[in-house]
Structure 1
Amino acid sequence: MFVVSSQTPVETPGPTIPSGYEIVIEPFVEHDGAVGSVDFTGQTTYRLYLEMQNESDFLSCISGEADNPMMILSSSTPSWYNDALLGEEVGAWVNPTVLPFFPELNYDSWLTIGGATANDEVEVSVAAGEINLLNEFGSGENVVIDDVTGTALFTLFPCNPADLAACDFSHAAFAGEDLRVLIGQITTAGELSGQMQVQVFVEGDASQEFRGIIPFTPYAPELLVDGCTDSVACNYDSDATEDDGSCVYCGAECAGGSEYYMTVEVHAEDIIEGQTTYRFYQNMVNTDDFLSSIYGNEDAPFAFETTTGFYNDQFGGTVASNINA
């Protein structure tokens, strides 16, 4: 279970989130005056997007609960603009026919899954717990959803799961050609930060879904630090936030400053098609150093692993001295 603080957003996505799935915030309009009956001077309307990896990725839900709180925070007071009389808390519920008469509603704050107005034809529903997300968000003040039941904005999968080829991936809850889904609009004079739990069907396949926490500002894709994120690797980088495939699991890099260390060297390649033969060496300091044994026990386990298994001939030997040259 990935439990986070109920007051401070996490800095990086939860462990269940695949690489490349990120929440980004983009300025939509920077205001310098009044629109309709509202003076927006000094405020910016931002749009929040979940960026995904495949055109057919489907955003099913955004949510928050005790173990994975939703947080939407702004540094200003009030936190954001929300029209108490005519506004909607869900973008997909906005009636586009009223916008020409009340143009300030174009910059109202709302959450959504794909739809900016009802014209986008995304049916977004809400399942509310002890803390009602829509009431909290509609107040125009910071939101923390951390009750046991939680609240979710969700939309049902619009295709036949048995016939994904017939799906219309232009539906606004699919990533589509731009590989992103709109999840919110917020007009504020402050700086935004927070996190949301998302549920995504990878390539539209519900059996391949994942869910977990993704933060937004101050975490941002441009702040990712590439490096090795596997703590068992020799070159593990505790500052890295994005694994770049550079992890090393054998070789002199593991020496860690010791003068006695093991190295692994390539001995031959493709003698058996597609395979590499490696040799292991214990490096010493003195010419008269003598290697007496290699062993393993409860206190110092002997561990040898590969990602694919390894070749062992039926006529071979477990130790080299048993092989008849």
Structure 2
Amino acid sequence: MKNLFGFVLLLATSLSSLTSMYAQGPDEYWIGLEEYVVHTEGDLDGMTTWRMYLHMLDEDDYLSACTGSDAHPFILESTSSPAWYQHPSASETFATGINTAFFTAFPDLEYDSWFTIGVEDASLDMDILSLADPAYDAFDAFEAGENIYSNTPVGNGWATLYPGLGSENPGFAGEDLRILIGQITTSGVLSGSIYVQIFPWGIQDPDLRLLLPILYMPVQCMDENACNYDANAWTNDECEYGPSAGVIEGDQTINLNDFNTTEWSYSCSDEASSFEWTITGGTILSGQGTSYVTVEWNTDGAISVTAISADGCSGTTSTLEIDILMGLEGLTFSDNLNIFPSPASSNVTIALDGIEGNNSCQIYSLTGKKVLAFVLANNTQILDVSHLAKGTYILAVDTDHGLLRQAFVISK
């Protein structure tokens, strides 16, 4: 015990140590709280179990001790009362005393609050040494569910004996570059600081001694397609993505020769807060912002939609390519509808045989664009077409006997 006392005292008072308050980062040592279990029932309802990790820089970095004294206080505080959960009959201060065989009889023991260096129970062979200051025993306060503020000259702490570089020991950072140093189950918000002794690259002399704040794990995402992408992130564990619009439902092949149909409808999954539609080759007539839109097509193109969550997170974009059928192929022309001359340059005469009344007429280009609309009265009419560009056009006349079509040519 005297050797340990001297070891921790030296750790707390060394003038040659490098001490600073470090924030978390990819090239810094830092202590982070990671959510382990959120409890929603039983005696732990409303509490969260947090795992506390010291994040290292190299696989061979070794954590030798966690301490606190007057110069570099060990602080662990929670906003709840009691500060944290301690099992009423089987609690252990250090994870090396946790026997998983007791979890059957005491299920909540798995979420007991404890300190450690690298291990979560007694299954691994790991000796953890502890020093408690008689003037202020931080571990008694911890077991009583009280906040810890260890700032006495002697201080409090826990440590391990260095096994040597190359040894299999949980005190080394390992591939994931982190070491478990505690588990806290609480309904409150945690904060504090711990003075740590690290052997960088497994080298004992010189060592590294840092007073590190206890921080919550930051949200980390390196995926540029994620809603919470952060260019400064260094891990990729908590990426969040927007909702999916699913498959766009609607006609993919559009027949612009069918003049009875001038609008087309498209829909997608409605499991999002809002939707953003885009279109090429046509115009969105209505429904922007919803999962259902009506569209007018002019040429080959595509329609796309992106679903957006209530907090503004956009998901992946769904797209439907559109093929347009146009031209004279497949059209049936009426013998009793005539338009002449063809080709024409300025005026054409329209004659409708055997059908009386006022009939609605439209002229379309071969791309399906409506270029002129008028009413045919008295079955005959001379129409000025001098403003139309050179090309082939379709005259459609809507009568009580159905839709009649005829083609004509403008030549200038």
TM bracket, shorter-chain basis? 0.5 to 0.7
Q: Give the match for residue 115 of structure 2.
A: 111
The aligned amino acid for 1:147 is T
- TM-superposed CA distance for 1:136, in Å, is 1.2
Question: Structure 1's 222 and 32: CA in aligned 2 closer, same or farther, altered over 3 A?
Answer: closer
Counterpart of 2:198 (choices 184, 197, 200) is 200
Structure 1 stretches of 4+ with a deviation exceeding 2 A read 10-14, 220-223
Question: Structure 1's 11 and 100: CA in aligned 2 closer, same or farther, altered over 3 A?
Answer: farther
- TM-superposed CA distance for 1:91, in Å, is 1.1
Does the residue aligned with 1:135 lie in a helix, a strand or coil? helix
1:157 and 2:165 aligned: no
- State the Cα deviation string for residues 11-70 of structure 1 (Å, max 9, x = none): 9429xx995100000110000002xxxx11110000000000111110000001001000
Tell me the distance in 2 between the aligned counterparts of 1:194 and 1:123.
Answer: 25
Q: Give the match for residue 319 of structure 1.
A: none
Select the structure of larger CA radius of gyration. Answer: 2
The aligned amino acid for 2:197 is Q
- TM-superposed CA distance for 1:83, in Å, is 1.7
Counterpart of 1:73 (choices 59, 72, 77) is 77
The aligned amino acid for 1:150 is G
Q: Give the match for residue 120 of structure 1.
A: 124
Kept in 2: contact 1:73–1:79 (CA 8 A): yes
Tell me the distance in 2 between the aligned counterparts of 1:156 and 1:84.
Answer: 31
Tell me the distance in 1 between the aligned counterparts of 2:202 and 2:188.
Answer: 36
The aligned amino acid for 1:54 is D
Q: Give the match for residue 50 of structure 2.
A: 46
Tell me the distance in 1 between the aligned counterparts of 2:26 and 2:137.
Answer: 29
- TM-superposed CA distance for 1:216, in Å, is 1.6
Output the aligned Cα RMSD: 2.6
Counterpart of 1:179 (choices 177, 180, 184) is 177
Summarize the alignment of residues 244-255 of structure 1 with structure 2, pairs less than 5 Å apart.
Answer: none
Q: Give the match for residue 375 of structure 2.
A: none
Q: Give the match for residue 96 of structure 1.
A: 100
The aligned amino acid for 1:133 is A
Tell me the distance in 2 between the aligned counterparts of 1:135 and 1:154.
Answer: 17
Q: Which has the higher contact order (CA 8 A, sep 6+)?
A: 1
Tell me the distance in 2 between the aligned counterparts of 1:12 and 1:212.
Answer: 7
Kept in 2: contact 1:57–1:174 (CA 8 A): yes
Does the residue aligned with 2:205 lie in a helix, a strand or coil? helix
Question: Structure 1's 102 and 148: CA in aligned 2 closer, same or farther, altered over 3 A?
Answer: same
Does the residue aligned with 1:195 lie in a helix, a strand or coil? strand
1:136 and 2:141 aligned: yes
Does the residue aligned with 1:63 lie in a helix, a strand or coil? strand
Kept in 2: contact 1:11–1:215 (CA 8 A): no
Summarize the alignment of residues 211-230 of structure 1 with structure 2, pairs less than 5 Å apart.
Answer: 211-217=209-215
- TM-superposed CA distance for 1:104, in Å, is 0.5
Kept in 1: contact 2:20–2:210 (CA 8 A): no
Tell me the distance in 2 between the aligned counterparts of 1:31 and 1:84.
Answer: 18
| Identity fraction in percent | 36
Query: Which runs of no fewer than 5 residues in structure 1 stay unpaired?
Result: 4-9, 224-241, 243-325
Kept in 1: contact 2:78–2:190 (CA 8 A): yes
- Using the size of structure 2 for normalisation, the TM-score is 0.46
Tell me the distance in 2 between the aligned counterparts of 1:189 and 1:221.
Answer: 19
Tell me the distance in 2 between the aligned counterparts of 1:18 and 1:209.
Answer: 20
Does the residue aligned with 2:108 lie in a helix, a strand or coil? helix
Tell me the distance in 1 between the aligned counterparts of 2:203 and 2:218.
Answer: 26
1:167 and 2:167 aligned: yes
Q: Give the match for residue 22 of structure 1.
A: 30
Counterpart of 1:56 (choices 60, 66, 81) is 60
- State the Cα deviation string for residues 161-216 of structure 1 (Å, max 9, x = none): xxx3x422xx2111011100000000000111110000000011101311120002
- TM-superposed CA distance for 1:71, in Å, is 0.5
Q: Which has the higher strand share?
A: 2
Q: Give the match for residue 294 of structure 2.
A: none
Tell me the distance in 1 between the aligned counterparts of 2:35 and 2:82.
Answer: 19
Does the residue aligned with 1:187 lie in a helix, a strand or coil? strand
Kept in 2: contact 1:23–1:48 (CA 8 A): yes
Does the residue aligned with 1:48 lie in a helix, a strand or coil? strand
Tell me the distance in 2 between the aligned counterparts of 1:99 and 1:11.
Answer: 40
Kept in 2: contact 1:115–1:182 (CA 8 A): yes
Question: Structure 1's 108 and 153: CA in aligned 2 closer, same or farther, altered over 3 A?
Answer: same
Tell me the distance in 2 between the aligned counterparts of 1:156 and 1:131.
Answer: 24
Tell me the distance in 2 between the aligned counterparts of 1:125 and 1:142.
Answer: 22
The aligned amino acid for 1:132 is D
Summarize the alignment of residues 278-297 of structure 1 with structure 2, pairs less than 5 Å apart.
Answer: none
Tell me the distance in 1 between the aligned counterparts of 2:26 and 2:177.
Answer: 15
Does the residue aligned with 1:46 lie in a helix, a strand or coil? strand
Q: Give the match for residue 41 of structure 2.
A: 33
Kept in 2: contact 1:84–1:138 (CA 8 A): no
